Amino acid sequence: MKNALRTELKNDLLVVVGLLAGAAAYRMYLIPNQVVCGGFTGVGQLLNHLTGIGVGTVNILLNVPLFLISMKSMGFRFGVRSLVAMVLLSLLIDHLPLPAATDDMLLAAVYGGAISGIGFGLVLRGSATTGGTDMLAALLHRLVSVLKVSYCIFFFDGLVIIASAFAFEPQAAMYGLISTFICNVLIDLVLEGPDSAHSYFIISDKSDEIAERVLRDMDRGVTALEAVGMYSHTKKRVLLCVVNRFETIRLRRIVFEIDPKAFVIANKAKEVLGEGFKRM
């Protein structure tokens, strides 16, 4: 009970610190210098410039329908935590009392991308997400399997960045690309390495239950390997599962919720080819 409470408090702290960092990046660097990093927040920056509507307000209006549609597949606890995180981020982006730190667009792109990347990485480590184009891409992939998540994210974010060249100036899109690249690199580093995928070997007496949850809740394939424990000479099933960077914390949560004594080996996958990832 104490361990569970400690874990929840740690996750909450990571989410809060991450939200503050992400909002500060937008308030101090990205929004004042019209550097657009894509995503729904980028759409908010464009609409804010054209109509005066708050960036965070636009973020909420675009995200709430996606959360309502995806809540069941996300799981109640993860979904509620993520919904609260998204709303808090949006409110902080609109109301956090921080002045612009620089009027140099290059500095704004570098520091804004780095700080937001660290912030959103911490949110993900805290077992939450702030929604956006990642969630939209995942939803489209579930509806139309031929639409790959990575391609959808690239398309949506690229479209928003290109639009910023017309809403602001061509240089804004160039700096937006720099900021987006830095943001994604820092998210990867916060989530334990620069790789886009991780392979997990899971040894547990409850392997069937774990596999069922992963298949149902995460829509990820699981392979069972027959093995023998040489100390006890008993047969065991070793599960092999490959997930992307956004799913690592969620997979761990599922495994240890079902079997706190599970033995898990995580490997950084340099490249993953096949269904759900990348094809030749």
Reported as a single tens digit per residue, the pLDDT across 255-269 is: 999 999 999 998 877
Report field, pTM of the whole predicted structure over 0.85: no
Q: CA nearest 155: which of 182, 135, 133, 176?
A: 133
Compute the C-alpha angle 90/95/185, nearest 5°: 50
pLDDT of residue 146 exceeding 80, the answer is no
- pLDDT-derived band at 232, boundaries 50, 70, 90: confident
- What DSSP character marks residue 245? G
Q: Are 220 and 241 in contact (CB under 8 A)?
A: yes
**Encoding tokens for residue 53?**
């509507």
**Encoding tokens for residue 205?**
């007496």
Which domains, and CATH codes, for the chain?
Answer: 2-190 (no CATH), 197-269 (3.30.70.120)
**Encoding tokens for residue 230?**
């040489």
Reported as a single tens digit per residue, the pLDDT across 29-71 is: 999 999 998 889 999 999 999 998 999 999 999 988 888 887 7
Q: Are 92 and 25 in contact (CB under 8 A)?
A: no
- pLDDT-derived band at 273, boundaries 50, 70, 90: low
- pLDDT-derived band at 187, boundaries 50, 70, 90: confident
Q: Measure CA of the first residue to CA of the last residue in the chain; give whole Å.
A: 47
- pLDDT-derived band at 87, boundaries 50, 70, 90: very high
Burial (Cβ within 10 Å: 0-12, 13-18, ≥19) of residue 137: buried
